[in-house]
Chain A
Amino acid sequence: MDVRGKRLTLDEFMNTELSVKHYPEMEYNWATGVAITKFLKGLKNGKILGTYCNDCDRTVCPPRMFCEECFNPMNHYVKLPDTGVINTFSLAFIRTDATRREKAEIPAVIDIDGTSISPSGFLHLIDEDVSHDKIKIGMKVKAVWKDEKDRIGDITDIKFFELLEDD
């Protein structure tokens, strides 16, 4: 099979072959909607909110305006504890742009206590100063909040989650 397509080296691609460069600057302003606005306002006040579906008898987090299962409105907001369980985690040595980090960030999915399906939680970070040998799936964690004056109604109002296990 005779396949075509000319392979370029990085140097040819960036420097010696002809190319056209473009540096777009785009800015977005996203309305946070009905349910996530309540969630983010909750975070500003140091609270984690979920929603309860009457028809499905389940509490979920993050909250939503409608239940994707029964497709009815989900307008009963519930205050949940700021504790949960590590569903999964990673030691991340690369940044968003794929450049390398010396010290790992620890992204994790946190199942929030008081929800009634598992997993039911959100993406966040674990304290990056924790010893890598110590952290395990299934461990209990608790939110570490920014000072009240610094909270703006953003997912980063929680600085990270810390391990609750005894040493």
Chain B
Amino acid sequence: MSSKKVGMVSVGLTRFNRRSKETPKELAYYSSKMALDEAGITRKDLDGVIIGSAPDAFDGVHQKHEYLTDGSGGFNKPTMRGYVGGGTGVFSPIQGWYSVASGVHDVVMVTTEEKMSSIQPSAQAGFLTIFDNLIERPLGPNLVWIFALEMKRYMETYGIPKEHIASVSVKNKGNAIDHPSAMLGKNFTLDEVLNSEILCDPVRLLDISPVADGAVSFVMMTEEKIKEFGISKDDVAWVDGVGWNVDTTMWTNRDLSYPKYVEKAAKQAYNMAGQKDHSPEVLRKWLSFAEPYDPFNYKELHHLEGLQLFAKGEAPKAAFDGVTARDGDFPVTPSGGLLGVGNPIAAAAGMKSAELYLQLTGKAGKRQLSGDVTRGLAQAWGDLMQVGTVLILKGGRVD
């Protein structure tokens, strides 16, 4: 493939809050401005802007990308919105990559934003609109239903104990203590997670990430521009691989124990990065860490298997045994994830993509992984359990 080399040179994040005073546009401004300042460039240096945001129903503002344009630095510039539900926060930097790799733009701002506190009395009413309108909505579903149904099928297929799944909540909410944007960083015990309020068996309250308001931005540019702006290679993370894939909305015709669409997205990204061996042991050596999507604790495990990072049914025990702890053999979600930092949908996976940059450039503060951090993978998932998006970044001095 002939395409330009693309580097991420900065990130910007807001605090993630259950309820923010700022409007969505003001949140987008905070993260976009921070990303520009960190990169040492200004709005006039941007050739294009990519905006990622999930269902308009949460904000009650239609065509949210047009509303968010000026807050994202896009006033009088080419802008576009990508939207694949929860998968958006990884898909938006992918769009940033192809805007630059294709030669269309040299420098882009990517801003992901979500404000979920506006819809009343809860975000659940907005989620109802994703279900099939003809034969599912008349049954009065709740978003948690489909997660509970998928989690139950996953546990049944591989004989997974709930303790193994609950350990992911303990790990991620604990990791989030060290994330400055986090809303739920806390050391919970396994028993607190296992005995939290039952919502839809087997899903309990602490199995779920908290809904939030927040924004995350990135600046991405060509190698030539990186040189021109005098940005050090130590402050760059290169896009190494990208992949995305989508299944149908007929989720009741799908194997719920294994996310095939994530496998396809991951293999696309590995192959693009030149990594043709997809066996778990090899991939876990090739990558320094991973940030798979964790809106629910079991999803982190389900996704690790789809990503080929663990064999089918084997991620839960590895998590329980500490393999995926921040100081484990293969760190997973050192950021604290959606479970701990919070889940402002598009910005949540944006935060995971940002964690790749921060870890690879040694800027992750107390969360910084020890040893050589050379390559990381972020993955997100969304719509009606059907989208997989994968981004692989490598360090600025890695060939």
Interface residues of A (CB under 8 A from B): 1-10, 12-13, 17, 22, 24, 28, 30, 32-33, 36, 39-40, 60, 62, 64, 68, 87-98, 104, 107-109, 117, 119-125, 137, 154-156
Contact = CB atoms under 8 A, between A and B. Distances in A.
A80 to B, nearest CB: 14
A13 B153 contact: no
B142 A95 contact: yes
B142 A155 contact: no
A92 B152 contact: no
Contact of B153 (A6, A17, A122, A137): A137
Contacts of B124: 96-98
A96 B125 contact: yes
Nearest to A125: B139
The 8 closest A-B pairs by CB, nearest first: A90-B148, A5-B15, A88-B153, A91-B201, A5-B14, A6-B21, A98-B124, A7-B17
Contacts of A8: 17, 19-21
26 contacts: A1-B365, A3-B15, A3-B30, A3-B34, A3-B181, A5-B14, A5-B15, A5-B16, A5-B17, A5-B22, A5-B213, A7-B183, A36-B134, A64-B250, A88-B149, A90-B201, A92-B200, A93-B200, A94-B142, A97-B121, A98-B142, A107-B200, A108-B149, A109-B256, A122-B252, A123-B136
A107 B248 CA distance: 21
Contacts of B152: 88-90, 137
A120 B253 contact: yes
A40 to B, nearest CB: 8
Contacts of B142: 92, 94-96, 98
A155 B135 contact: yes
A6 B22 contact: yes
A28 B256 CA distance: 31
Contact of A137 (B125, B136, B156, B213): B156
Interface of B: 13-22, 27, 30, 34, 60, 117, 121-122, 124-125, 128, 133-136, 138-142, 144-145, 148-150, 152-153, 156, 180-181, 183, 198-203, 213-214, 248, 250, 252-256, 363, 365
A96 B142 CA distance: 4
A3 B145 contact: no
A98 B250 contact: no
Contacts of B199: 92-94
B253 to A, nearest CB: 5
Contact of A95 (B34, B140, B203): B140
Most buried by A among B13, B17, B200: B200
Contacts of A96: 124-125, 128, 140-142
Contacts of B198: 91, 93
A157 to B, nearest CB: 10
A64 B132 CA distance: 14
Nearest to A154: B138
Contact of B248 (A12, A68, A120): A68
Contacts of A89: 149, 152
Contacts of A40: 134-135
A67 to B, nearest CB: 11
B125 A62 contact: no
A79 B10 CA distance: 58
Contacts of B134: 30, 32-33, 36, 40, 155
